[in-house]
Amino acid sequence: MTADKRRRLEKKGWKIGTVPDFLGYGAEEAASVEVLRAEAPLHPRPLSAERGSAAAMKPRSRNARLDSYEKHIEAEVDGYVPVSGKKRRMIEAALEAARKVTRLSIRISESDLVKLKGRARDAGVSYQVLVSRILKRYLAGRMRDAKNAR
C-alpha cells in the first residue's frame, strides 16, 4: 500500500494494522500462524506434471516469465520455515483449539456494560470482541490485576 493511499484511508477513519493486531494475537500466536501459512499457501493450486519434474527445479533463466502466484512464492521463499513431526502437530492442535468458539453468558452491571461498549466503539470493534481480546491478553499474562501489579 502506498503512503498516499494509507493517508487517504486513515483520513476517512480507516484503521491500518496487521492481521495479528486485528485478531488480537500475541507474538507467539502470530508466529504459529505464519509457520502454518508458510507450509500451506493461501492460493493452492495443483502442480502440473511439468512443474513437478526435475526440469522445473532448475534455476530459472533471466527470460522466464512468472505468473503472479509464482512471483508470490519467489518473494516469500526466504520467510518459509519447515516444520514437521511433533512440533507441527502441536501447532495444528493450538490453531484448532483457537478456532473453536463457545458462547459465554455473564452478569454485568449496566453501567459497566455501557462503559465497555463505549471503549469498544472507540476501538472500532464490537463489545464481544473487546471482551474476548481482554480475556485472551489476561490469560496470556499480558494483563495483570492493578492490586497485584505493585
3-state SS record for the chain: CCHHHHHHHHHCCCCCCCHHHHHCCCHHHHHHHHHHHHHCCCCCCCCCHHHHCHHHHCCCCCCCCCCHHHHHHHHHHHHCCCCCHHHHHHHHHHHHHHHCCCCCCCCCCHHHHHHHHHHHHHHCCCHHHHHHHHHHHHHCCCCCCCCCCC
**Is residue 49 one of the residues assigned to a domain?**
yes
Q: Say if residue 10 is in the same domain as residue 69.
A: yes
In the predicted model, is pLDDT for residue 45 greater than 80? no
pLDDT digits (tens, 9 = 90+) for 57-77: 455 556 677 788 888 877 877
* Residue 3 pLDDT grade (very low, low, confident, very high; cuts 50, 70, 90): confident
Q: What pLDDT is stored for residue 97 in this prediction?
A: 79
Asked if 92 and 119 sit in the same domain, the reply is no
Average pLDDT score, the chain: 76
Same structural domain, 76 and 89: yes
Q: How far is C-alpha 69 from the geometric centre of its chain's CA atoms? A: 20
Same domain? For 60 and 24 the reply is yes
Specify the pLDDT at position 81.
73
Residue 114 and residue 95 share a domain: no
CATH of the domain at 139: 1.10.1220
Residue 121 structural domain = 104-144
pLDDT grade for 116, boundaries at 50, 70 and 90: very high
Q: Which residue has the cell 502454518?
A: 36
How many structural domains compose the chain? 2
Q: What percent of the chain has pLDDT over 90?
A: 13
Same domain, 8 and 40: yes
Residue 52 pLDDT class (50, 70, 90 cuts): very low
- Spatial neighbors of 108 by CB under 8 A, at least 6 apart, are 116
Residue whose entry in the numeric block shows the C-alpha cell 501447532: 91
More confident residue, 83 or 42: 83
In a domain, 109, yes or no: yes
In this structure, are 59 and 15 located in the same domain? yes
Domain membership of residue 150 (yes or no) is no
pLDDT at 23 over 60: yes
Same domain, 8 and 63: yes
